Amino acid sequence: MAGILETIKESIIKGDAKTAKEKVEAAIKENIPVADILNQGLIAGMEVVGAKFKANEFYVPEVLIAARAMNQSMAILEPYIVQAGIKPLAKVAIGTVKGDLHDIGKNLVVMMWKGAGFQVEDLGIDVPPEKFVEAVKNGAQVLGLSALLTTTMVAMKDVIEALKNAGLRDQVKVVIGGAPVTQNYADEIGADGYAPDAASAVDKVKSLLAV
């Protein structure tokens, strides 16, 4: 059993979607527990990818092909995850704030969060505060706010104000990130956390939720 799970993990790290899918199907046929396929195969692989990305051993293209292998394998495994009653670590939502149309950083975080076992709602780009508020009403336990422009990062504060006005600020953790964003800015606007890159965004959310 360990051999096939290790192969799934290695296939994800290499971005070899074909092998990853084949081995996931083989593991299902061999009645390997779905939780093991997910945790010791797919998620373990993405954890290595995240660590390599953080250490500058992997760059965006490698992360993208690893995430593609992960997503295609997850598509095969998903019905079995539902059957097994495996719950995601938490429900999270992310978007690029109002006025900003950049999405590469956001998309990387989406992939990393999915790869870590979170249920992710991608709100897209140019997202108004009301849409973030709606996501919290729909059960999001964490909000990720992304901005690439100095001129749009001020919209992050608007989201936090909107959450306060809706009486929802205490129900959700807010994590911010993007090129112009810093820990100081997170402190200034009252965000719960700041992530300098997509891999750190996984660690930050896990620590905030203690999962």
DSSP letter at 170? G
Please report, in tens digits, the pLDDT of each residue of the chain (211 residues total): 679 999 999 999 999 999 999 999 999 999 999 999 999 999 999 999 999 998 999 998 999 999 999 999 999 999 999 899 999 999 999 999 999 999 989 999 999 999 999 999 999 999 999 999 999 999 999 999 999 999 999 999 999 999 999 999 999 999 999 999 999 999 999 999 999 999 899 999 999 998 8
Per-residue pLDDT at 37: 96
pLDDT at 137: 97
Place of tokens 């995430």: 67
The pTM of the full predicted model, rounded to 2 decimals, is 0.88
Side-chain-facing half-sphere of 126: CA atoms under 13 Å: 2
At 211 the pLDDT is: 82
Neighbours of 87 (CB within 10 A): 10
Residue 168 DSSP label: -
**pLDDT tens per residue across span 154-204:** 999 999 999 999 999 999 999 999 999 999 999 999 999 999 999 899 999
Question: CA dihedral in degrees (13, 18, 23, 28; nearest 10)?
Answer: 120
The phi, psi pair for 16, rounded to 5°, reads -90, 85
For residue 188, what pLDDT is reported? 97
Q: Which helix (H) or strand (E) holds 176?
A: strand 173-177
